[in-house]
Structure 1
Amino acid sequence: MNCSTTQLPYSTTGFFSKVVIDYLNQSPELRPFYEHLPNMDGLKAAISNRRKFIQDRKLLVEALQEQYSIVPASEAVQQNIQLLLSDNTFTITTAHQPAIFTGHLYFIYKILHTVRLANQLKQEMPENNFVPVFWMGSEDADLDELGNVWLNGEKLVWNTRQTGAVGHMNTKGLDLLINRIAGELSVQPHGEELVQLLRDAYLNSPNIQIATFKLLHNLFAEYGLITIIPDTAKLKRQMVSVFEDDLFHQTPGSVVEKTIAKLGEHYKVQANPRAINLFYLKDNVRELIEWKNDGYEVRNTSIRFSKEDMAVELNEYPERFSPNVILRGLYQETILPNIAFIGGGGETSYWLELKDLFHHYKVPFPALVLRNSFLVVEKKWEEKIDRMGLQIADFFQPEQQLFTSLVTKQANGHLKLTSELSATTALYDSIREKAGQIDESLLAHIEALKARTVKPLQELEKKMIRAEKRKYSSEQQQIHQIREALFPTGGLQERVENFMPYFAKWGRQFIDCVYHSSLGIEQEFVIIRES
């Protein structure tokens, strides 16, 4: 696959929230809520802060070596794991839940952005090492979100009755979905390779988190990506003091509540803390822990602990305590020598709530980098767009607005009464000026006459455009077809589609193309064109 790119400012796409645009524009209202600017100076400052934080690198490497013992050794991955022992090695991290078959396209995009930024920083600061890390949120229990995937406009759903953390669920039943995928994609040039990847990962693994781990290793090992499954007693033990503070004093929630009160004056709050920000995680249960009736209760279960029993449980079985969104980032930054977190708009929004929490526990707050966003345009669609005399960027407009623009453009301005409306407005303004010198009580009457004249002209202009549009039914159908392909369900392609059709068509060249199209800290929307 040969590809080329063009870039657009995020603000011109119409698909990103106010908080994201303001963050990219370094709005003064947001500046108090993050530590470092997402630029080279900010990243250097993050390194300086991270050097002052003492952490157990040896423990991290031991945990990673255990995890990687189940997959074929990769020289690039093993080298990066060993580099983590060095004080001059830092991580660039992204995170996501283990959605089946990687879920949406942006799952792939954020990983490749992480790799790209790590490599860019190595070139900029060769005296340091930078390791790309994928933090797997395998304790998430939202199967409705993680247990489905879209394939060519159809939603494929994993029918399973399992409950609890999705990462713990066995893969039974996914063979049916893989067979369905094979029936559609195996005819593509790299379809068989794709299907074999899925079968190797999902049908030879005890659960979803191991299957996802294997798939990511197969796809990204050559880039040196380290995938970490933080759902282990060894790693969680480092968070026991914070978990105790949450359970017995409710400190994290109170700290974040104060930040939210300030942030909420200007922006919509993305995530709200709870009194206790931990789930109880065991077997097929992942439920909130609540303080009720002088004890700790695990919601929707009969599990109950006294204060004394809860303290014993936490210290003996830290792996049974799962942080929610308020504590997850703190856990990540405690474990990893991290300097930058790459996340989407929603993730960036909730990280903006957490700086004071990090300060409270004296953990370095990372630089926040908005993940790359892409629109992949196959050659057949670009050819259709070119024949219509349009640009790919035009299709970010709403469909009817784009169609109106096309009709107006092709009519060479004959449908617009701009000059006539301007002349009419100027005429009444002149009359108003003269009448005002005679009697100001006439002004209201003149304004009414002006409105009665201008409004019919505006309505006539709309009727002329509607009449002309009827001559362009073929072009209207083409615009609809192209926009449905580029913006399925009216949203960004990356938030609906999956990587599988692209891999089946282009193989690993698709991964390589996205990597080389990825930006590091240059924050713009990227259009990838098949060339």
Structure 2
Amino acid sequence: MDCNSTNLSFEQTGYFSKIIIDYLNQSPAIKPFYTHPVSLEGMAAAIQARQQAQPDRNLLVKELQEQYKGIETSALVQQNIQQLLQPNTFTITTAHQPAIFTGHLYFIYKIAHVIKLADRLKKEFPDKHFVPVFWMGSEDADLDELGHVYLSSDKLVWETNQTGAVGRMNTKGLDKLIHRIEGELSVQPFGKELIQLLRDCYLQSPDIQTATFKLINALFAEYGLIVIMPDNANLKKAMEPVFREDLLQQTPAGVVEKTIEQLSKQYKAQAHPRPINLFYLKDNIRELIELKGDKYEVRNTTLSFTKDEILAELANNPERFSPNVILRGLYQETVLPNIAFIGGGGETAYWLELKDLFNHYKVPFPMLVVRNSFLIIEKKWQEKIRKLDLQTKDLFQPEQDVLTMLVSRQKNGELKLKNELEAAMRVYDLLKDKAANIDRSLLQHVEALQARTIKPLQELEKKMLRAEKKKYETEQRQIQTIRKALFPKNGLQERVDNFMPWYALWGREFIHIVYEHSLTLEQEFTILEEG
């Protein structure tokens, strides 16, 4: 399958926040909040910083080997796990919660991005090794967000009464959704292969995190991607000093609040710390820990601990402590020899709040790379766009603006009163000169006359355009249809649609195409057109 790609700046799309646009443009206002610019020079500096602060590589490799037991994976994955023992091996990481069937398309895009960047860095720094890593946020308890997918604009919801960490939930009930997906996608060239993949991963797994692990491994093992499940007692042991300080002194909250205070002078804060930034995680519970008087209470439960009891619990059962958004990144960077984190706009925005926290704990702050974004356009939509004499990039604008552009182009400027307005302005400039020569106080009167003339002309121009647009009902419907298909829910395709229809259509080639067209450090939006 051939595809052609063109790139836009993130700013041109109109779908990214001011903080992200300023970050991408390396605006002076944002520079205090990150360490390494997104460049090869920045990468070299990130590598150097990480060489000085090595994680416990033996622990990491031991836990990964344990996790991969009984999982059929590629020789490249096994080799990459072993490679992590070497001090000149570094990781490029992305993270996401275990949304069912991967959730949205960008789940796939961010993984392809880490793989492509790791591959490029092997060429740029041949004396070092780079391993792509997916860090699974399986402790997230937001089932509303993680328990649904969209298929042909239908929202498919996993009906389950389970609570707690989504990654720990069993997969009962997903067979119904797979049956529904089969009804729609099995007729496609690779539909049956996709359904078998879903059945193998989800219906043969004890829980969601294992199912997600198997699915990512099936899709990306050939590229050497390592998946890590951080819901792990031994890995969390490495965070015990930080978790302890969070419980006793509430230090992280104080550090991050100061950063947010500075950042908030220009931007809206993405995430806010709590006094204690840990959840208690046990069985079907994942609830915040709160200090009430001298007791540590687990919100929405009857559980409570004295200071000595909670410290004993942390020492004996570290897996029962789950970091929130403020501490999650620190956990990741403590465990991994990481140099770059690839995340979406929202993720990058909250990481920009964390640099001082990393400095406080003497953990190297990774380079922050905004993940790749794609808009995939099938041939049938390309043809419709061309027939309207539009370009794909035009469609990033609101529907009415697209129609205005179309009408203006077709009428070749006939609806613009540019010449007439300029002629009127010239008349009033002459009148101003004459009036000023007689009495300067007359200028104000001429300017008032000018405003009374120009404004109705501008209104007339708008009315002419509105009247003409009414003749374009067919074109407007076509624009609506195209935008609805390419920008579902009036947002980016990747934030609504799922990978399954594309896999059913193109098979594994879909993953190869996304990898092939993935950028590394360019930081641009990619339009991918079926060739």
Report TM bin, short chain: over 0.9
In structure 2, the partner of 1:530 is 530
In structure 2, the partner of 1:244 is 244
- Structure 1 residue 446: Cα displacement: 1.8
Instruction: Select between 318-327 and 419-428 the one with higher mean Cα deviation.
Output: 419-428
- 1:170 maps to a residue whose letter is N
Q: Tell me, what secondary structure is at the counterpart of 1:69?
A: coil
- Rounded to whole Å, the distance in 2 between the matches of 1:48 and 1:484 is 47
In structure 2, the partner of 1:366 is 366
**Conserved? CA contact 2:54–2:337, under 8 Å:** no
- Structure 1 residue 470: Cα displacement: 2.4
Are 1:139 and 2:136 an aligned pair?
A: no
Deviations 1:295-321 (Å, cap 9, x if unpaired)? 100000000000010110000000000
- Rounded to whole Å, the distance in 2 between the matches of 1:49 and 1:139 is 29
Question: What are structure 1's unaligned runs of at least 5 residues?
Answer: none
Give matches, 1:40-439, under 5 Å. Answer: 40-439=40-439
Q: Tell me, what secondary structure is at the counterpart of 1:42?
A: helix
Instruction: Select between 125-134 and 430-439 the one with higher mean Cα deviation.
Output: 430-439
Are 1:445 and 2:445 an aligned pair?
A: yes
Deviations 1:233-254 (Å, cap 9, x if unpaired)? 0100011011000001111111
- Structure 1 residue 159: Cα displacement: 1.1
Report runs of 4+ in structure 1 exceeding 3 Å deviation.
none
Root mean square deviation of aligned Cα? 0.9
- Structure 1 residue 393: Cα displacement: 0.8
Q: Tell me, what secondary structure is at the counterpart of 1:341?
A: strand
Give matches, 1:452-531, under 5 Å. Answer: 452-531=452-531
- 1:192 maps to a residue whose letter is K
- Rounded to whole Å, the distance in 2 between the matches of 1:433 and 1:292 is 77
- Rounded to whole Å, the distance in 2 between the matches of 1:72 and 1:297 is 42
- Rounded to whole Å, the distance in 2 between the matches of 1:264 and 1:452 is 43
- Structure 1 residue 449: Cα displacement: 1.6
- 2:104 maps to a residue whose letter is H
**Conserved? CA contact 2:92–2:117, under 8 Å:** yes
- Structure 1 residue 440: Cα displacement: 3.0
TM-score, normalised by the number of residues in structure 2? 0.99
- 1:382 maps to a residue whose letter is Q
- 2:188 maps to a residue whose letter is Q
- Rounded to whole Å, the distance in 2 between the matches of 1:393 and 1:415 is 23
Deviations 1:80-113 (Å, cap 9, x if unpaired)? 1011011110000000000011011000000000
Q: Tell me, what secondary structure is at the counterpart of 2:497?
A: coil
- Rounded to whole Å, the distance in 2 between the matches of 1:47 and 1:444 is 66
- Rounded to whole Å, the distance in 1 between the matches of 2:416 and 2:292 is 68
Deviations 1:45-89 (Å, cap 9, x if unpaired)? 111011111321111011111111131132111011011011110
- Structure 1 residue 461: Cα displacement: 1.4
Deviations 1:104-146 (Å, cap 9, x if unpaired)? 1000000000000000000111110000000000000111111
Q: Tell me, what secondary structure is at the counterpart of 2:296?
A: strand
- Structure 1 residue 427: Cα displacement: 1.1
Deviations 1:449-483 (Å, cap 9, x if unpaired)? 22221122122212221222222221111111111
Are 1:32 and 2:37 an aligned pair?
A: no
- 2:222 maps to a residue whose letter is E
- Rounded to whole Å, the distance in 2 between the matches of 1:222 and 1:355 is 34
Deviations 1:373-426 (Å, cap 9, x if unpaired)? 111011111111112211111111111001011011101111111110111122
- Structure 1 residue 9: Cα displacement: 1.1
In structure 2, the partner of 1:5 is 5
**Conserved? CA contact 2:73–2:217, under 8 Å:** no
- Rounded to whole Å, the distance in 2 between the matches of 1:54 and 1:402 is 53
- Rounded to whole Å, the distance in 1 between the matches of 2:145 and 2:360 is 33
- Rounded to whole Å, the distance in 1 between the matches of 2:266 and 2:70 is 48
- Structure 1 residue 206: Cα displacement: 0.8
- Rounded to whole Å, the distance in 1 between the matches of 2:436 and 2:491 is 52
- 2:287 maps to a residue whose letter is E
- Structure 1 residue 207: Cα displacement: 0.7
Instruction: Select between 446-455 and 494-503 the one with higher mean Cα deviation.
Output: 446-455
Are 1:22 and 2:25 an aligned pair?
A: no
Instruction: Select between 11-20 and 314-323 the one with higher mean Cα deviation.
Output: 11-20
Q: Tell me, what secondary structure is at the counterpart of 2:286?
A: strand
- Structure 1 residue 429: Cα displacement: 2.2
Count matched residues: 531
- 2:232 maps to a residue whose letter is T
Question: What are structure 2's unaligned runs of at least 5 residues?
Answer: none
- Rounded to whole Å, the distance in 1 between the matches of 2:425 and 2:78 is 73
TM-score, normalised by the number of residues in structure 1? 0.99
- Calculate percent identity across the aligned residue pairs: 66
